[in-house]
Chains A and B, each alone.
Chain A
Amino acid sequence: MKLAIRLKRRVNRSWQVDLMLFLVLGVFGAFMAVPLIYVINNAFKPLDELFIFPPTLFVRNATLENFADLFQVMKNSWVPFSRYIFNTVFITAAGTAGHILLASAAAYPLAKHKFRGHKLLFTVIVLSLMFSPHVTAIPNYMIMSTIGWIDSYQAVIIPAFAYPLGLYLMKQFMEQIPDALVEAAKIDGASEYRIFWQIVMPLVKPAWLTLLILMMQMLWGTDGGSFIYSEQLKTMHYAMGQIIQGGIARAGVGAAVAVIMMSVPIVTFVLSQSNVIQTMASSGMKD
């Protein structure tokens, strides 16, 4: 399961080409990083620095003014701001936990057993990776309104449980678990549920973290879409959007908002990077 330790290799490398390629990497790396660096710096700029002409990238006199203003705006919001935070945290936590549990439970039989319909089911999952959720947005709205879930948490949380990419990655990762391990447990009299819960699940921890990142990216940034209308149920992303739209005077506050919103998924990724990479190694489409 562990990735092979990378050996230093010096064959077929020249330092001239190395230098050129790393320059290319540096230039594009800067292109990727500068907008984020700019947002982070803006969040700490005092008002007069935000409107200097020509605009500057880096902050000169860093201040926490914008964050203080943000808390001021939050205090005056219609619904207590903690409510928006709670909604986002709740939706993200419940959606992610449910997804990891259900997707793993479904991935185990698909990865380790041959039963009637296993090929059909997996093929449908792969096909569903080939179109985006936009295709199903309208009928999903109809389904939600039929079952009366419009304007509720579950309209956002429950569909996230059955997100196809998570099952796909989990199944591919589980395939690496040696069959002998599953067989041995079966001979010892363990039920399929026990094998799944006590043997397979602890071994696929890296994949949990990967699903966590994927779900977080989706749910942390959700604004409730067309499903949530009550102010009490709206998410932080929505509230932050309102603050940003407050106009040019709120440019600094907007940047502060963006820094807070992006820091959570980024920190999570930094902490789980090696596990995520380990999972993605098995993401390939074999046939």
Chain B
Amino acid sequence: MQKTKIAAEVMMQPKGGPAGLQGKWELFVKDMKRDKNLYVLLAPYMLLFLLFTVLPVIISIFFSFTYFNMLEFPTWVGWDNYAKLLWNDDVFLIGLKNTLIFAVITGPVSYIACFVFAWLINELNPKVRAFMTLVFFAPSISGNVFFIWQIIFSSDSYGIMNGFLMKIGIIYEPIQWLQDPQYMMAIIIVVQLWLSLGTSFLAFIAGLQTVDRTLYEAGAVDGVRNRWQELWFITLPSMRPQLMFGAVIQITSSLAVADVAMALAGFPSVQYGAHTIVTHLVDYGTIRFEMGYASAIATVLFVLMLGSNLIVQKLLKRVGE
């Protein structure tokens, strides 16, 4: 079962039976009639899902091959937008580089943090556990409270960080944290990590609570000597489904860094120090209204997100096999 690939599932169809085309069609109609109530239940959600998620992806891919400004009729330009993106748009390449840096750092770190904190919290007694879950989860549901980091890293001496560092005498002049590309990325990464203990973190907490307790006792009898071995041989393999779900959530959000970057470093940021693929998309899509070009950016982002997710899923399926 574990080896079944998602792509393979797309291909799979219910068995048509031995009869010919005629028979298959009759069987199809019969099935549809039998299940019509189920399709009725599915229809409202699926129609909206098609309209607001599936169709947009198709539209985006289509328009990425056109020049379109929302006023004139779109004209077909072939691969021009992609060629321009990769060879003539230095700002996009900065955005791509920053996005990959963010993703490579915040993706794995947040994923491991979600698991490690969930694992530690799981050792506590239920009341403390509920409290600590709230402490770690709260930032991710607090909406735009991350603006507080702007005050913490404020460029004058009233900023907490500057005030603190000046008081203990490490620096004598306030540092322009969010205007200096040297610090910008690091600060956004910290804030992004602060916000990243969300859905996957809860999934891990929940997953840990459902690991069969008797496995640990059986493990102890079979020679599991400490908590690290317990983690590696019992806990992690039992949690593979949650780990795979968490990976999807963390990868997708780590490639979509934009809101925090725009709120903290400004838009556009100094020397494009915090420019990402998504901020580039916002620039072309909502300010310059170059929809064809913006669609190409969105398509690149789509391929990047889907591709890295599918690769990581494949790798995670191999763990422990």
Contact = CB atoms under 8 A, between A and B. Distances in A.
B285 A137 contact: yes
A131 B252 contact: yes
Contacts of A76: none
Interface in B272-291: 278, 281, 285-286, 291
A54 interface: yes
Contact of A105 (B44, B226, B281, B298): B44
Contacts of A36: 138-139, 142, 145, 148
Contacts of A276: 202
Given A115-B31, A161-B45, A33 B53 contact: no
B38 A192 contact: yes
A78 interface: no
B37 A191 contact: yes
B117 A28 contact: yes
Interface string A112-126: 011110011101111
A226 interface: yes
Contacts of B91: none
A281 B206 contact: yes
Interface string A248-274: 000100100010011001100110011
Interface string B26-61: 001001100101111110111011011111110110
Nearest to B239: A284
A29 B128 CA distance: 12
Contacts of A13: 227
Interface string A90-111: 0000000000001101101110
Contact of B216 (A9, A123, A265, A283): A9
Given A32-B194, A116-B31, A140 B56 contact: yes
Given A9-B216, A132-B252, A136-B57, A106 B202 contact: no
Contact of B209 (A145, A162, A258, A281): A281
A167 B121 CA distance: 28
Contacts of B163: 53-55
A217 B141 contact: yes
A35 interface: yes
A91 to B, nearest CB: 14
Interface in B137-158: 137-145, 147-149, 151-152, 157-158
Interface centre among A31, A38, A134, A266, by most B CB within 10 Å?
A134
Contacts of B137: 269
A103 B45 contact: yes
Interface string A38-68: 1100000000000101110000000000000
Interface string B241-258: 111110011011101101
Interface string B293-307: 011001101100110
Contact of A35 (B194, B197, B317): B194
Interface residues of B, number: 123
B199 to A, nearest CB: 7
A238 to B, nearest CB: 11
Nearest to A17: B227
A287 B135 CA distance: 33
B309 interface: yes
Given A140-B56, A273-B130, A29 B298 contact: no
A138 B52 contact: no
A61 to B, nearest CB: 19
A214 B252 contact: no
Contacts of A141: 285-286
A128 interface: yes
B139 A134 contact: no
A85 interface: no
Interface centre among A123, A124, A278, A287, by most B CB within 10 Å?
A287
A86 interface: no
A229 interface: no
A216 B194 CA distance: 20
Interface string B200-216: 00110111011011001
Contact of A6 (B157, B213, B230, B291): B213
A238 B56 CA distance: 26
Nearest to B212: A4
6 contacts: A35-B148, A36-B148, A106-B45, A115-B35, A136-B60, A284-B244
Interface of B: 1-2, 4-6, 9-10, 12-14, 28, 31-32, 35, 37-42, 44-46, 48-49, 51-57, 59-60, 63, 70, 113, 117, 120-121, 123, 126, 130, 132-145, 147-149, 151-152, 157-160, 163-164, 166-167, 194, 197, 199, 202-203, 205-207, 209-210, 212-213, 216-217, 220, 224-227, 229-230, 239-245, 248-249, 251-253, 255-256, 258, 278, 281, 285-286, 291, 294-295, 298-299, 301-302, 305-306, 309-310, 313, 317
Given A113-B38, A261-B145, A285-B244, 9 more contacts: A12-B227, A13-B227, A33-B135, A116-B14, A130-B251, A167-B49, A269-B137, A284-B239, A284-B245
